[in-house]
A and B are shown apart, each in its own frame.
Chain A
C-alpha cells in the first residue's frame, strides 16, 4: 500500500482533487482507498464509490489526539487485511500537520507492507494574501507547506497571473525544496503530473 497525503487549508480544493485523482487512478487499474476525517466531509456518493471501486473510511475528526492517531493506524491495518488497496489517499483536516501524520503512519507501518508516497499540499492562489498575512493562520499554513513534497498552487484558472506569481514566490520561500505544480482540477492544468507523482514517487523517510 502506498500512502499519499493531500493536505491544505479550508477551501483549497482538496476534496475536488481527491475525487478526480481517485477516479483517474482507478481507471488506470489501481485499487484506491480514501481516508478522511469525516465521511460526510467528502461528497463521494455511493454511485461513484461503486463505479470506481473506491473504499472510503473515516478516521475521526476533532483535534489532535491519540484516539485519532489510533483510529488512523487501526483503519490502515483493517485495510491491509482485506482486498488491499494499492494507493491510500489520506485527507487530514485543514489543521493537520502532515509530518505528524507521517510519523504516526511510520510508527505503525514498520512491520507492514506500506510505502510513503508524496505529501501534496494545496495552496489556494486566490487567497494568497489572506493565508499568509494573518499571523496565526500563516503559522499553520506555513507548517503544512514546509512538510510538502509537492505544493500544488490551486485554482490557477481563477487567479490573476500576478497572484499566481506572488503565491509561487511566497511558497518557494517557505519550502525551497518542494516541487511546485500549477493546478486547476476543473480545467486540467497540472492534474496529470499529480496522477503520475502519486503513482511513481516513493518518499524515503
Chain B
C-alpha cells in the first residue's frame, strides 16, 4: 500500500470499504471556519450566495489545515429556497450567523412545485458552480462532498415545524404524500450535484432523531423514503441523523447508505455492537464541546477516544461552528499523525 495516499484516495477508498493507510479526517457536513474566512477576506453572510467565494472557503479548509475534504454548501437552506422559501442571510450582522428560513412556502403537498429548470432554481447553481470550481482546482487531490437534507428535515424547512409534527402524528398519510414529493426533489438535486462533480453525498435527516420522533414513527413515516432516496442516489452516500439514534441505529443501517453518521449523543459501543465490526460508522465526536469550546490539548485525546470507542474515521458529529479556534483545528488534523492502517469496513 502506498504511504502517499492522497486525501481523495483515502476518503473514497474508505467509503468503499477498501483498506486505507489510516482513518481519514473529513466531514460531509458544513465545515468552514473563521481563520479561513479571515485569511481570504470572505464575509460569512456573502459566502452562501457566491460560487467562487464558496469554493474558495471550502478549499481553504484543505489548503490551510489539510482537512481531507472540500464540502459545500455551508447552510441548510439551499433546497428550501429552491422550493420557494425566503432566506435571511443576516447581511446586517457583523458576527457569524447561519442563514435561516424567514418565510416558509408550503402548507401541503400541493404547494411543492419542483421547478422544471431545477439546475437554475434558487442557489442550486451557486452550489454546482462551487462544486465545479473545486473539481477544477482540487479534484485530483481532495474528495469533494456535498449534502442534502432528508425529506422530513426539508419538510421542516419549508412548512411550519409545529404544523408538520402535529400533522405527522394526527394525519400521517398527508405527511407521507409530502415526503414522497420532497423525495422526488431530493433525488433530482442529488443527480445535479453528482453531475457537477461531487464525489460523495451526505443525506442529513436530523428531524428523524428519536429526541423528537418515536422509533415507531421513524420506521413508518421516514425510513421508507430514506431507503428510496438512497437507492436512487449515486454512491458513495452517507446517512446522518443527530441526537438520540441508538434505538433506530439498525433502521439507519438498513436504509442503504455506504456509511452512517451520528453525533456525540449516540452510544457508540452499543452502535458498534449492533452493526458489527464491518460497518462504517462516522461521527460521535462533539464539534461544539470539544472543537469549539474545548482546549487545544484535549482535541487529540478526544479524537483517539472516538476511534477507540468504535468510530471508523475522524468526522465531527455535526457542522463545525465557524468560530472553532485555529489551534483546535490544527490539533484535530494532527491527532492521527503516525496512525496505523485502517482495516476495511463496510455497512453490510
Contact = CB atoms under 8 A, between A and B. Distances in A.
Contacts of A66: 242, 287-288, 318-319, 321
A70 B96 CA distance: 9
Interface string A33-69: 0000111110000000000000000111111111101
B162 A67 contact: no
Given A62-B76, A137-B166, A139-B214, A67 B98 contact: yes
Interface in B58-109: 75-76, 88, 93, 95-98, 100-103
B321 A78 contact: no
Interface string A1-39: 000000001110000000000000000000000000111
A109 to B, nearest CB: 11
B76 A67 contact: yes
B38 interface: no
B217 interface: yes
A74 B162 contact: no
A58 to B, nearest CB: 6
Given A40-B103, A136-B214, A63 B206 contact: yes
A64 B100 CA distance: 13
A38 B319 CA distance: 21
A102 to B, nearest CB: 14
Contacts of B305: none
A64 B76 contact: no
Nearest to A134: B169
A39 B157 CA distance: 14
A43 to B, nearest CB: 14
Interface bin, chain A: 35 or more
A137 to B, nearest CB: 4
A107 B321 CA distance: 14
Given A60-B100, A64-B209, A94 B95 contact: no
Contacts of A100: 211
B165 interface: yes
A112 B111 CA distance: 44
Nearest to B168: A136
B212 interface: yes
A135 interface: yes
Interface in A129-147: 130, 134-137, 139-140, 143
Interface residues of B, number: 45
Contacts of B168: 136
A89 interface: no
B289 A107 contact: yes
Contacts of A197: none
B212 A95 contact: yes
A9 B100 contact: no
B125 interface: no
B101 A78 contact: no
A9 B212 CA distance: 12
Interface of B: 30, 75-76, 88, 93, 95-98, 100-103, 152-153, 156-157, 160-163, 165-166, 168-170, 206-207, 209, 211-214, 216-217, 242-243, 287-289, 293, 318-319, 321-322
Given A65-B242, A100-B211, A95 B165 contact: yes
B101 to A, nearest CB: 6
Nearest to A38: B102
A93 interface: yes
A134 B163 contact: no
A77 interface: yes
Interface of A: 9-11, 37-41, 58-67, 69-71, 74-75, 77-78, 93-95, 97, 100, 107, 130, 134-137, 139-140, 143
A137 B76 contact: no
Nearest to B103: A40
30 contacts: A9-B162, A9-B166, A10-B166, A38-B100, A38-B102, A60-B100, A61-B100, A61-B156, A61-B161, A62-B153, A62-B161, A63-B152, A63-B161, A66-B318, A67-B30, A67-B76, A67-B98, A70-B98, A70-B321, A71-B97, A71-B98, A74-B95, A74-B97, A78-B93, A95-B212, A97-B211, A135-B216, A136-B214, A136-B216, A137-B165
Nearest to B212: A95
Given A63-B207, A67-B98, A71-B98, 4 more contacts: A37-B161, A62-B206, A66-B319, A67-B75
A67 B97 CA distance: 8
Contacts of A140: 165, 212
A12 to B, nearest CB: 10
A64 B321 contact: no
B162 A10 contact: yes
A139 B207 CA distance: 15
A94 B170 contact: no
Nearest to B157: A62
B319 A107 contact: no
A136 B172 CA distance: 11
What 3 A-B pairs are tightest by C-beta distance, nearest first? A60-B100, A10-B162, A66-B318
Contacts of A67: 30, 75-76, 98, 319
Given A67-B319, A107-B289, A136 B169 contact: yes
